[in-house]
Structure 1
Amino acid sequence: MGMVRFATIGTSKICERFLDALAGEPRAALVGCYSRSGQKAREFADAHGAGLAFDSLEELAGCPEVDAVYVASPNALHVRQAKALVAAGKHVLVEKSLGSNEREAAELFRAADETGVVAMEAMRNLHTPGFAAIEREVAALGQVRLAQMSFSKVTSRIARLRAGERLNIFDPRMAAGALCDMGVYTVAPAVALFGRPERVAACGVTTRVPGTADDDPFNTIDLAGSISLGYPEIAVSLTYGKLSDDHLPCQVQGEEATLVWDHVEAPENLRVHVHEDKGMVFRQEAGEGRAVEVAACPENDMACELADFVAAVLGERGAAQMVARFRQVTLDTAHVMDEARRQLGVTFPADLA
């Protein structure tokens, strides 16, 4: 296979952004688009130069002209759709969060193994040159003791939620909420750097889903929160939300130096501050620190995850090990989020299956 022929599921802005990245990938091309509405599928396909339009998942799965599918439907549909595709021999790149919970994610990976195809989560910040640089620098900080990562921004849809509108992004039945939409950007790099934690402690801001009854098991959704991850010798603090704007940098503090960077969702501007023993001080003066050289990142950083996925589909050297490593990150991330949601009282239908 010299060219990976893609179809897409979804017509949202994130799918538009993926197609922008796909247009710049020389080893892949768009051939088809799926939507539950045949008319919408045709319009989306025409708008992006795809010859095929599908309103049947079975037809898409069975189409011999499609090698791989980018799945950007609501979270609750990801694994069901992806499993149907991998059973038919299609590779799948699944938008974050890959599944409703760890069990679902593991089921998809097992199904992919059975048919010998690639299944990968589109966790874009982990595939950027910035995150690769973070991994290299963390190894030189000495024993890591503390880390903080955060990602919060106000969403305009909060006003609609407060007005009583039921929205997919704030609906447990869609496996959504602030943690799965925003918090995942902090959990994934934390577990990529430090592994699955021994302890998870969460607190957060939750609200009643409009129109739900007191006895509805899916009547609570999270809007913001914080998660503490406990390791034998490291403590990690994560914050996320859709109610307020976060302007703090991220950092990993080692005994010999501290690494600081901006934008957990799109890492850049890395700086290392080497520890200096100045005796008793009453105010820490960090100074400018050493700037870390980072390879150039495409303006649309979804190109990075796409390039890694295509490399795996084409069987390029080292790609299988990369996919296996990020598969474990996906599972560990889901494990953390499952426990955090349990503590917050946010339940998805897949949790009761």
Structure 2
Amino acid sequence: MVRFGVVGTNWITESFIEAASKHKDFKLTAIYSRTEERAKEFSSKYQVETIFTSLEEMAKSSEIDAVYIASPNSFHANQACLFMKHHKHVLCEKPMACNVKELQLMIDTAKANNVLLMEALKTTFVPAFSVIKNHLAKIGPVRRYVASYCQYSSRYDRYKEGIILNAFDPKFSNGSLMDIGIYCIFPLVSLFGEPKNVKAIGHKLDTGVDGEGSLILEYDQMDAVIMHSKISNSYLPTEIQGELGTIIIDKLNPPEKVEIKYRDGSTEVLIEVQESNPMYYEVEEFIRLIIEKQLESSVNTHQNSLLTLKIIDEARKQIGIIYPADSEL
């Protein structure tokens, strides 16, 4: 059994616990919240006796082997490093850090303490993504990747009323690129590596975070177009266009239906059965790596996380998005 603690008591943590509980080697043993009342309320749902309101005490605890971090983005690096320095494995929600400098510090800390650090971005672990990779050669030389993820945030209505919640507050290193755009960028990097050039535009809200934006990324033989938004909806699928055909992906968070439309007019539907809660697959990978004493995922590699944040850092620079965390290292 791998004994987990969780940092964060929001809906994403509940989804994680639901998915992880299906794994035979998962055991939830500790809950952290800033307040004892919330920690007790959350722990009672899962019959967990050990609660913490101190991260330092939790990191020192012998009750956990690993931790899932789902706190606001700006807390990820410090919290992850604290746990890793106490030899706890860390599964950290995306984006794993606010910028490349923070992430490199996290990776260095993981290596120095011989622990596993992995970004919890589920898209690249689901079976449908493996299908995409395994059938990519069928469409011939790839010429374009077009990804759209635009999801109107319910918190934007509050923003327009003058109430600034975490999703639109730069002190938490939030905004469209970090919350939404990453789902388009990480799979691109996983499939095609680092681009030669990045061009970005976006709409900056009054608080200083981006509400929406677009990127064009240049590769040697192809380009990529990415559209992301927290202030509008899109119903467009993602496409990988090749000379012989096009892979059409219903969505990237996470992909479910994948098909190829060939140039001759024929269609091949690629069907994979997936768990109803797609977070299961990232948990499965993380637990397997711990049991096998591996310190890095071959799917969500440290390099892929670094390249993704490198692109986001450059896009933010071009748009003019600056977080307090950018000046803290």
TM > 0.5 between the two?
yes
Matched, 1:149 2:124: no
Matched, 1:306 2:283: yes
The one of 241, 244, 254 equivalent to 1:266 is 254
CA-based RMSD of the aligned residues comes to 1.4
Alignment partner, residue 345 of structure 1: 320
**Distance between the aligned counterparts of 2:57 and 2:296, measured in 1?**
32
2:89·2:116 contact (CA, 8 Å) conserved in 1? yes
Unaligned runs of 5+ in 1: 210-219, 277-285
2:124·2:299 contact (CA, 8 Å) conserved in 1? no
**Distance between the aligned counterparts of 1:81 and 1:164, measured in 2?**
30
**Distance between the aligned counterparts of 1:25 and 1:50, measured in 2?**
17
Specify the structure having the higher radius of gyration (Cα).
1
Residue 49 of structure 1 aligns to which amino acid in structure 2?
Q
Alignment partner, residue 167 of structure 2: 169
Secondary structure of residue in 1 paired with 2:71: coil
**Distance between the aligned counterparts of 1:94 and 1:66, measured in 2?**
15
Residue 339 of structure 1 aligns to which amino acid in structure 2?
E
Show the 5 A alignment for 1:41-190.
41-190=39-188
Matched, 1:194 2:192: yes
Give the Å deviation of 1:314.
0.8
Secondary structure of residue in 1 paired with 2:275: coil
Secondary structure of residue in 2 paired with 1:183: helix
- Cα deviations by residue, 1:275-333 (Å, 9 ceiling, x for unpaired): 23xxxxxxxxx56x111132x211110001111011111117xx656347522111111
Residue 232 of structure 1 aligns to which amino acid in structure 2?
D
1:312·1:323 contact (CA, 8 Å) conserved in 2? no
- Cα deviations by residue, 1:131-157 (Å, 9 ceiling, x for unpaired): 111111113321111110111111111
Secondary structure of residue in 1 paired with 2:34: coil
Show the 5 A alignment for 1:5-16.
5-16=3-14
The one of 215, 230, 237 equivalent to 1:249 is 237
Which range moves more in the overlay, 89-98 or 241-250? 241-250
Matched, 1:227 2:205: no
2:2·2:26 contact (CA, 8 Å) conserved in 1? yes
Show the 5 A alignment for 1:294-333.
294=272, 296-315=273-292, 322-323=297-298, 326-333=301-308
Alignment partner, residue 240 of structure 1: 228
Unaligned runs of 5+ in 2: none
Structure 1 stretches of at least 4 aligned residues deviating more than 6 Å after TM superposition: none
**Distance between the aligned counterparts of 1:181 and 1:48, measured in 2?**
28
**Distance between the aligned counterparts of 1:14 and 1:125, measured in 2?**
15
Secondary structure of residue in 2 paired with 1:69: strand
**Distance between the aligned counterparts of 1:325 and 1:225, measured in 2?**
25
- Cα deviations by residue, 1:168-215 (Å, 9 ceiling, x for unpaired): 111111011111111111011011111011111111121111xxxxxx
Show the 5 A alignment for 1:27-46.
27-46=25-44
Alignment partner, residue 204 of structure 1: 202
**Distance between the aligned counterparts of 1:148 and 1:342, measured in 2?**
22
**Distance between the aligned counterparts of 1:139 and 1:313, measured in 2?**
33
Identity %: 34
- Cα deviations by residue, 1:11-54 (Å, 9 ceiling, x for unpaired): 11101111111211111110010011122112211221112100
Secondary structure of residue in 2 paired with 1:227: strand
**Distance between the aligned counterparts of 1:299 and 1:7, measured in 2?**
23
Q: State the TM-score, normalized to the length of structure 1.
A: 0.90
Alignment partner, residue 293 of structure 1: 271
Secondary structure of residue in 1 paired with 2:20: helix
**Distance between the aligned counterparts of 1:249 and 1:222, measured in 2?**
22
Secondary structure of residue in 2 paired with 1:117: coil
Q: State the TM-score, normalized to the length of structure 2.
A: 0.96
